[in-house]
Structure 1
Amino acid sequence: MDPQLLTTFVTVARHGSFSAAATELGYTQSAISQQIAALEADLGLALLSRRPVAPTPAGVRLLEHAEALLLRLRAARADVLRAAAPPRNRLRLAATPLAVNPVLAARLARARAREPRLELTLSTCPAEQVLAEVAAGRAELGLADGITAPSDPLRLPEAGLMTTTGVSQEDLVVVLPPDHPLAARTALRLGDLADARWLDTPLCPPSRLRDLVGDGFPAGLRYQGDDVHTLGTLVAAGHGLTLLPASATPRGVHGVALAEPRLAHRVELIHGTLPAGAAADLASALAG
């Protein structure tokens, strides 16, 4: 299958529109239609229904493979270019919003002190985008975080010859309003809070808590941002509870240790093949 045709198919499916895909990819709508027809002819299957534009059952199955295949192709291209590129002192680090905790911030500071000419740009984005940025070569290094059982790796999409290394792990706390009846406890069981309302956030969606414990955990307000101070304000006002790394607990709320189940906030370093130079040195510093 032609990667360009796959890219067009994924874009049309994401937008649900041939014209929107044409605008994004810089083609005419007719060219988009021809590319989809060519892919369908190659497979001998209809991949998209036209009114409305939506994946057929075969198209849904292809989507499950297409994005991973395209990610691996971008990763392969970036890996080859990195191997041929001369070392440089200008690096880009993509990170999820809570990945750069105090431990990793201190390691970054020590690395920059050892290499004062290093120009480092840090950008934040969701975990899937961190992986995509590194795979495509738009960032040399990535940091992704999430909730896992202690020492378990994060569940990230497979992207070929990418290295992922655990670089930080810390305890999670239940974030409660200061006047909450359980705020004075030294530790809490997550199951005891199954009837409480929970903020629906990217780090701690109620669906993830149900996967871990079982039924319950009704969603309160949905917050799609990444500012912990806003999270603290929402919790303090009674919009719902959340889980946060202990070091990220904002002022104005209480963070109570999570006793059961055993969970941790884990940060992983992501990169492709790194030739000797500033990127490899920074990766080593972040790994501790």
Structure 2
Amino acid sequence: MFMLDLRHLATLDAVAVEGTFGRAADRLGYTQSAVSQQVAALEKSVGGAVFDRPGGPRPVRLTPLGEVVLAHGRELLARAAATEDAVERFKAGEGRVDIGTFQSITNVVLPGVVRRLLDEHPAADIRLVEEETDNPSAEGLDLVFFDGPLRGEVEQIKLMDDPYLLVARRGQFGAGPVPLDALDGAAMVAQPPICDQARVERVYADAGVAPLIVFRTADNRGVLSMVRAGMGIAVMPTLALDIPPGDLLCTHELEPALSPREIYLAWQAGRTLSPLAGRVIELTLQTVRQVTGSSGSGGA
């Protein structure tokens, strides 16, 4: 078994095209002796002559062995060039990035991130996966957004605190904060009791407050629609609220206030991030600053 050096194959190709060692040397930027040495090394590697050398001004000719080596060598050179191009494009921010997300991030944060990323890297392959789960995994994904710190072997950044507000039809409550105990027995539209919603409901229970859950849906717009229809009130994180001016709905702070949900961005620990994934993190932090008017905070 022999090993082929790509430099030797490139020299073989140059000599075959130019016809002489001298012109091949000019094309490659080598000395003629360097070309001769590389051809000799190739011939030693393949175990035979790759050129017939008639001498004088006549051009060299490929031997039958040389023709075989050149045909396959050009394939190897083309693959090497394609690999080099792919690596350079990868370093420049092309390639694929897989991101786990959830509704609020999908609707508020990621549109700006995706738009800027595609403006910078039009060939980027961005894949989003939205899943409502109590225990998300970063496995198989480059990045994962979640409303709480992830467990397991991950690195993560806390992006923001997302305060909870009471959502009701306009006029249902007076101006100012609403006492938490006003929720006791009140008809409420809520999200499924997973993720941070489970924590919120434990806070209700610890405070002796028992709302009457009349409908659950993972769709933020569905929650707001049913509150708007008069089915009940809701308590939702600020990032999930999309209430236009003049709407039938209004928001109130709760007294005492619920602890905000914490939104994190995570990735597998010990994994080298691609330039594209690294850029997503940078753009996310910039977008979060615009959305919240704060700098966000990092954490492990």
1:99 aligns with 2:89: no
1:31 maps to none
Q: Deviations over 1:25-64 (max 9, x none)?
A: xxxxxxxxxxxxxxxxxxxxxxxxxxxxxxxxxxxxxxxx
Separation (CA, whole Å) in 1 of partners of 2:120 and 2:100: 21
Matched letter for residue 167 of structure 1: L
| Identity fraction in percent | 15
Separation (CA, whole Å) in 1 of partners of 2:100 and 2:129: 5
CA drift of 1:104 comes to 4.7
1:195 maps to 185
Gaps of 5+ in 2: 1-89, 287-300
1:8 maps to none
CA drift of 1:166 comes to 1.1
Separation (CA, whole Å) in 2 of partners of 1:155 and 1:192: 31
Contact 1:274 1:280 in 2 (8 A): no
Separation (CA, whole Å) in 1 of partners of 2:169 and 2:112: 30
Separation (CA, whole Å) in 2 of partners of 1:91 and 1:232: 32
1:128 maps to 134
Q: Deviations over 1:109-157 (max 9, x none)?
A: 333322222221222112436x22x22x1x2111112xxxxxxxx254x
1:283 maps to 281
1:264 aligns with 2:260: yes
1:144 maps to 146
Matched letter for residue 278 of structure 1: L
Aligned length: 185
Matched letter for residue 270 of structure 1: A
Among residues 203, 213, 216, which one is paired with 1:209 in the alignment? 203
Gaps of 5+ in 1: 1-85, 146-153
Separation (CA, whole Å) in 1 of partners of 2:181 and 2:110: 31
CA drift of 1:178 comes to 2.7
Separation (CA, whole Å) in 2 of partners of 1:258 and 1:108: 34
Separation (CA, whole Å) in 1 of partners of 2:160 and 2:119: 21
Contact 2:96 2:125 in 1 (8 A): yes
Matched letter for residue 237 of structure 2: P
1:13 maps to none
1:21-36 to structure 2, matched below 5 A, reads none
Q: When the two structures are superposed, what TM-score results if normalisation uses the length of structure 1? A: 0.55
Contact 1:178 1:236 in 2 (8 A): no
Separation (CA, whole Å) in 2 of partners of 1:96 and 1:102: 10
Change (3 A) 1:214 1:258: closer
1:173-188 to structure 2, matched below 5 A, reads 173-180=165-172, 182=173, 184-188=174-178
CA drift of 1:179 comes to 4.3
State the SS of the aligned residue for 2:162: strand
Matched letter for residue 284 of structure 1: E
State the SS of the aligned residue for 2:104: coil
State the SS of the aligned residue for 2:166: strand
Contact 1:175 1:256 in 2 (8 A): yes
Matched letter for residue 186 of structure 2: A
Contact 2:190 2:223 in 1 (8 A): no
Contact 2:109 2:284 in 1 (8 A): no
The alignment yields a C-alpha RMSD, in angstroms, of: 2.7
1:249 aligns with 2:241: yes
Separation (CA, whole Å) in 2 of partners of 1:270 and 1:248: 20
Q: When the two structures are superposed, what TM-score results if normalisation uses the length of structure 2? A: 0.53
Matched letter for residue 235 of structure 1: V
